[in-house]
Amino acid sequence: MRKISVIIPWKGKPPKPLEFYTYLINQTVRPDEIIIVYQGGFDEIFNLYTDPRIRIVDARGTCGANLARNIGLRLAKGDILLFTDNDVKLTLDWVEKILKCFQENGVECIAGGMISANPEEFLSRYLDFSIISPARAAKVNMKAVNIIKKIFKKTSIKIKLLEKGDMLISGDIPLSTLIVTCNFALTRQVVEAVGYFDEDYGAYGSDDIDYAYRILKTGYKILCSPRIIVYHYHRNTLLKLVKRYVQYGLGFSIFKHKHPESVFSKALNYMLLFLFSYFSITVILHVLGIFYVSIPMIIFSYSVLVIHNVIKHRRKLQVHEIFLYALLDFILILAACIAIIAGDITLFIKKHLKLRKEQ
């Protein structure tokens, strides 16, 4: 019988600690061990989380989710390793569904989906519909994949359609597909071949995409199953949301520099070049007072996002949501792009200074 380990990086107070604990310990298929790598912010955990299968590793004074995951990986005894975060609501059959996927498909790695646990909050509901939301996790957009294949004819991306909406990806990670470590599972065999999570990412995003890409690059396949769901408590203030997308942008920058050969990196560079050029021209025209051109350019870029919402979500969204969600997408895309550029500049300077020092 294969042993199951659940690994949870933990920093700060979760939205609903008792709810998380209840769903974690009452799984229909119970894991053999649960390793929580605790980095501070909620010391009540030592008194609340008392199930004998739970091992709380006191890592206060450290930071970074990938560091915590690596500590958990080194301590875990399981053959199957499941990852989640403390800001989600698990389903009671979460472990059971993952094991069933392993058994039925003969894969070594599974990525699940994520939707909002607090859709009553305006911004949380927005993230379930956003064009750039992590709520797209484990969903493969075949239209986007086909476009990328036409642009990059030598791409190694391979997609196999399975039953019930699942897809098997190999070779490279599609730009349209997000992998999130709050709903992720792999075998010990993969860890031994690929190694540990990259701790250079710190608090930035893209750390999960990095690990997924390294898994694919090593030759393993990833089963993307949107049916395996966790409910995530999304950020519900605009400031926190913008901050998070800045972190995503900085993470994308790190990923591009670590894996420039990836189609994900190449496509991201093309998109960034287009957006940067478009908005730079818009700003220049506006500064020069050529408003009859600059203002229509701004309206056009916003209208594209509105049209996307109309086509994609018109039956689910109200009229005011269609327009407000497009505006939020516009703001967050700008924030992420600016962060990517800032990250690229920072990494370039660091590399240049390092070369000068070595000389």
Q: Which CATH number do you get for residue 225?
A: 3.90.550.10
3-class DSSP assignment, residue 290:
coil
Q: What is the pLDDT of residue 13?
A: 93
How far CA 8 is from CA of 111, 233, 297, in Å, comes to 16, 16, 45
Q: Which residue did the predictor score with more confidence, 128 or 357?
A: 128
Instruction: Work out the percent of the chain whose per-residue pLDDT is above 70.
Output: 95
Which residues neighbour 87 within 8 Å (Cβ) at sequence distance 6 or greater? 14, 15, 182, 232, 233
Query: pLDDT-derived band of residue 144, with 50, 70 and 90 as boundaries?
Result: low
The verdict on 289 and 337 lying in the same domain is yes
Q: What is the pLDDT of residue 263?
A: 87
The verdict on 124 and 170 lying in the same domain is yes
Do residues 234 and 121 touch, judged by C-beta distance below 8 A? Answer: yes
β-bridge pairing 158-161 and 184-187: unpaired
The verdict on 246 and 231 lying in the same domain is no
The verdict on 263 and 188 lying in the same domain is no
The verdict on 46 and 165 lying in the same domain is yes
Average pLDDT over residues 182-194: 96
The CA distance from 336 to 321, in Å, is 22
The verdict on 273 and 215 lying in the same domain is no
Q: What is the pLDDT of residues 232-251, one digit of tens each?
A: 998 889 999 999 999 999 99
The verdict on 200 and 72 lying in the same domain is yes
The verdict on 205 and 106 lying in the same domain is yes
Taking 80 as the threshold, does the pLDDT of residue 204 lie above it? no
Q: What is the pLDDT of residue 40?
A: 94
Q: What is the pLDDT of residue 350?
A: 86
* Amino acid (one-letter) located at 175: L
- Which of 247, 194, 200 minimizes the C-alpha distance to 219? 194
Average pLDDT over residues 329-352: 91
Do residues 294 and 282 touch, judged by C-beta distance below 8 A? Answer: yes
The verdict on 171 and 286 lying in the same domain is no
Query: pLDDT-derived band of residue 142, with 50, 70 and 90 as boundaries?
Result: low
How far CA 38 is from CA of 10, 15, 50, 248, in Å, comes to 5, 16, 14, 23
The number of distinct structural domains making up the chain is 2
Q: Which residue did the predictor score with more confidence, 320 or 352?
A: 320
Domain end marker among 235, 258, 288: 235
Taking 90 as the threshold, does the pLDDT of residue 193 lie above it? yes
Taking 80 as the threshold, does the pLDDT of residue 224 lie above it? yes
Q: Which residue did the predictor score with more confidence, 221 or 162?
A: 221
In terms of residue numbers, what domain contains 349?
241-358
Do residues 216 and 170 touch, judged by C-beta distance below 8 A? Answer: yes
Bridge partners for 60 per DSSP: 62
Taking 90 as the threshold, does the pLDDT of residue 201 lie above it? no
Domain end marker among 206, 235, 264: 235
The verdict on 186 and 264 lying in the same domain is no
Domain end marker among 235, 255, 285: 235
How far CA 352 is from CA of 206, 303, 308, in Å, comes to 24, 41, 41
- Which of 111, 356, 125, 352 minimizes the C-alpha distance to 229? 111
Put simply, whether the predicted model's pTM sits higher than 0.85 gets the answer yes
Query: pLDDT-derived band of residue 179, with 50, 70 and 90 as boundaries?
Result: confident
The verdict on 125 and 261 lying in the same domain is no
The verdict on 70 and 181 lying in the same domain is yes
